[in-house]
Amino acid sequence: MRRRQIPVTLLCIVFVTAHLQPIQAQENETDYKTIPDIAYRPADVPEQTDYMRERCKLDLYYPTTIKNFPTVVWFHGGGLKGGSKKIPAELMNQGIAIVAVNYRLFPKAKKPAYLEDAAAAVAWTFQHISEYGGNPDLIFVAGHSAGGYLTSMIGLDRRWLVPYQIDPNQIAGLIPYSGHCITHMTVREEMGIEQDQPVIDDMAPLFHARKDAPPILLITGDRNLEFPTRYEENAYMHSLLKVVGHKQVQLMELQGFTHGSMLKPGHFLLLEEIKRIVSDKKKTDSQK
């Protein structure tokens, strides 16, 4: 077994644990509600286009019978060119809320539109989740592939949340699945750069590695089955964050899983990471 690699047997244990022990266990069955297509940008924004009104929406799935629950802002994959919001089934009925986000896509939109949309959706969550019973101190950001890239950029590069007076360090945890850590391939395409030419500029998560970032769990598929260089990029991010002094960064490589098939087992690791951080926060709060 490779270092920091998750064997299939452990994934089975995580699967059972995640389903038998929701993050917020209740004596009575917890009810959940879904509110679809919430616009996360104000309707009166003058520069808003028809495409923004179409894509800048989110679905909110949340428990109705418990309070102060954690929330996961979830960004779908698709290479910044495709995909649509979806609430992952493996994250339902777990005592948490899910904010599933649509964002503008290339070629209808160009950089940094998708990052601006991701930031606006995270800001909406900070501003409104308490209205539904959620704890704004327990907002996690996660996503797969292109969504993993957005997750890392929003959490590491401070500039995107500045317009909303939000410090990304207010995010409880970052959990990118198989995301680019160099400049995204679609961003490079917009710049006229070939896909096999690596770039690390200010549109790369690696460029913004810092020791005071939120806790981060990097998850990839098997290095031999993943997209080319995807594991290595995340391994470099893991090492660089440690070099700059980050104290809560982990790298998990899912043995035997491809870029696409790692999504579902990744959800169980996400749930365990939320449980860990929530537990640590409770211990810290009790000592104050």
Q: Considering the domain boundaries, does residue 132 fall inside one?
A: yes
pLDDT in tens, 87-141: 999 999 999 999 999 999 999 999 999 999 999 999 999 999 999 999 999 999 9
Note the pLDDT of residue 213: 98
- For the segment 241-257, the average pLDDT, to the nearest whole number, is 98
Q: Considering the domain boundaries, does residue 176 fall inside one?
A: yes
The three-point CA angle 76-79-84 to 5° equals 35
Note the pLDDT of residue 4: 52
Q: What percent of the chain lies above the pLDDT cut of 70? A: 91
- For the segment 259-270, the average pLDDT, to the nearest whole number, is 97
CB 118 within 8 A of CB 101: yes
Q: Considering the domain boundaries, does residue 9 fall inside one?
A: yes
Note the pLDDT of residue 2: 45
Query: With bands split at pLDDT 50, 70 and 90, how would you rate the model's confidence at 281?
Result: confident
Place of tokens 């002094």: 245
Count CA atoms within 13 Å of residue 116 on its CB side. Answer: 13
- For the segment 162-187, the average pLDDT, to the nearest whole number, is 97
Note the pLDDT of residue 28: 53
User: For residue 5, is pLDDT > 70?
Assistant: no
pLDDT in tens, 175-223: 999 999 999 999 999 999 998 999 999 999 999 999 999 999 999 999 9
Q: Considering the domain boundaries, does residue 223 fall inside one?
A: yes
Q: Cα(288)–Cα(284) distance, rounded to whole angstroms?
A: 7
What is the SS3 assignment for 37-100? EEECCCCCCCCCCHHHHHHCEEEEEEECCCCCEEEEEEECCCCCCCCCCCCCHHHCCCCCEEEE
CB-based contacts of 89: which residues, under 8 Å, 6+ apart?
Answer: none
Note the pLDDT of residue 264: 95
SS3 267: helix
10 Å CB burial of residue 189 (0-12, 13-18, 19+) is: middle
Q: Tokens standing for 97?
A: 């809320």
Query: With bands split at pLDDT 50, 70 and 90, how would you rate the model's confidence at 9?
Result: very low
CB 114 within 8 A of CB 121: no
Note the pLDDT of residue 284: 80
DSSP 226: S
Note the pLDDT of residue 283: 85
Across 5-9, 121-125, 277-281, least confident range = 5-9
Note the pLDDT of residue 99: 98
User: For residue 1, is pLDDT > 70?
Assistant: no
User: For residue 42, is pLDDT > 60?
Assistant: yes
For residue 63, give the CATH number of its domain: 3.40.50.1820
DSSP 30: P
CB 220 within 8 A of CB 239: no
Checking DSSP bridges between strand 57-63 and strand 32-39, what pairing results, if any?
antiparallel
Q: How many domains does the chain have?
A: 1
Q: What percent of the chain lies above the pLDDT cut of 90? A: 84
Query: With bands split at pLDDT 50, 70 and 90, how would you rate the model's confidence at 144?
Result: very high
10 Å CB burial of residue 25 (0-12, 13-18, 19+) is: exposed
Task: Please state the φ and ψ torsions of residue 280, each to the nearest 5 degrees.
Answer: -65, -40
Separation in Å, CA 188 to CA 180, 220, 243 = 12, 22, 27
List the domain range (segments joined by +) for residue 217: 5-24+32-283
Note the pLDDT of residue 200: 97
- For the segment 221-230, the average pLDDT, to the nearest whole number, is 97
Q: Considering the domain boundaries, does residue 288 fall inside one?
A: no
Over the chain, what is the mean pLDDT? 92
Higher pLDDT, 132 or 28: 132
